A = this chain, B = another copy of it.
């Protein structure tokens, strides 16, 4: 009889069920070669004893932990948190847990740090957020260390097994189409930082759509930011001071768009009657500033869930989509341009 004051182990279950512990192990691991009646018998004992497999022992025996890692260097808190929620959606009611690991893209030791982290924690797999998801050396490191990984990106960074993807380029094209429909011809862009794939994709979507509509994109219509609020202010200032005189600005993310709002207001320019602004991300600030901002929303939580599923249940996941379409969220920061 098992000790009343100890947590039951696999041995207790085996003894009570009258089988070997290997059989119990097979039940735990869903081995297909078990007689159904044996399985149910063991399952009953497990339930009646309240047995829970010890994760630490499993981790030791199998050489890997039941932990998913989240590697990120993303400046947007809401993005990171939504991603965490999505992963949690996927691992709910499993034995997995999520460990987070912010990293510093600019540190020369970043890869060594991550290697050390993976060595020590022996993660089941890692999820990698942009922008470091674009780093191929990091992906190779994961491969080399036998650690599963899924990257999240705005382009075809890897094969389907290792990627969930958004369609930034197409979405920005839709943004421009929307602006043109409203009558805008002089549309400026605030680009994201150099070296960010998402920034490049958004720029290419902008550029392609403008070209398709036969619209000019002179140097005066382009300003570069770094995805942060302050850089949006500076970029908008440059745009508003140049000779291009845009009637609409597309900012490559919401923070910079909010900076553009800020600059417009501080110059007494009304949004949207005198200037239309569109952002990207549909982060909370887009809905909270005045006027509420038209932007592009992408299903980050669903993407995160899909990414986690690819790691913990590849067979389930492979049938699912790997590209997740974003959509235009129309609010009140776009209006037809004033005639001039």
A residues in contact (CB < 8 Å) with B: 52, 54-57, 59-60, 63, 65, 67, 77-78, 80-82, 84-85, 88, 95, 97-102, 117, 119-122, 229, 255, 258-259, 261-262, 265-266, 284-285, 287-290
CB A279 to nearest CB in B, in angstroms, measures 12
Which of these, B52, B54, B97, B261, contacts A99 with CB under 8 Å? B97
In the complex, given contacts A67-B99, A80-B81, what are 11 additional A-B residue pairs having Cβ atoms less than 8 angstroms apart? A55-B120, A56-B122, A60-B60, A84-B100, A85-B102, A97-B121, A229-B287, A229-B288, A258-B288, A258-B289, A261-B290
21 of the cross-chain contacts (CB-CB < 8 Å) are: A52-B119, A55-B120, A55-B121, A55-B122, A77-B78, A77-B284, A81-B81, A84-B100, A84-B102, A85-B102, A88-B100, A88-B101, A97-B120, A98-B100, A100-B100, A229-B287, A255-B288, A261-B290, A262-B290, A285-B288, A288-B289
Q: What B residues does A229 contact at CB under 8 A?
A: 284, 287-288
Most central of A84, A85, A97, A261 by chain B CB within 10 Å: A97
CB-based nearest B residue for A122 = B56
Q: State how many angstroms separate the Cβ of A235 from the closest Cβ of chain B.
A: 15
Considering the chains assembled together, what is the distance between the CA atoms of A121 and B97 in angstroms? 8
Q: Which residues of B contact A284 (CB under 8 A)?
A: 77, 229, 285
Q: What CA separation (Å) do A275 and B261 show in the bound complex? A: 21
Instruction: Give the docked Cα–Cα distance between A65 and B81 (Å).
Output: 24
Q: Given A78-B77, A98-B100, check contact A60 B54 (CB 8 Å).
A: yes
| Copies of this chain in its oligomeric complex | 2
A65 vs B259: C-alpha distance when bound (angstroms): 44
List B contacts of A290 (CB < 8 A): 261-262, 265-266, 289-290
In the bound assembly, the distance between CA atoms of A119 and B50 in angstroms comes to 12
Name the distance in Å between A3's Cβ and chain B's nearest Cβ. Answer: 16
Assess whether B285 is in contact with A262, with CB atoms less than 8 Å apart: no
Q: Does B287 lie within 8 Å of A285, measured CB to CB?
A: no
Distance in Å from the Cβ of A66 to the closest Cβ of chain B? 9
- Nearest-CB distance from A122 to chain B (Å)? 6
Query: Closest 8 CB pairs between A and B?
Result: A56-B59, A77-B77, A77-B81, A56-B60, A77-B78, A265-B290, A99-B99, A97-B99
Chain B residues lying within 8 Å of A121, measured Cβ to Cβ, are 55, 97
Q: How far is the CB of A83 from chain B (nearest CB, A)?
A: 11
Within 8 Å by CB of A285, from B82, B119, B285, lies B285
Q: Please, which residues of chain B bring their CB within 8 A of the CB of A77?
A: 77-78, 80-82, 284
Would you give the shortest CB distance from A54 to chain B, in whole angstroms? Answer: 7
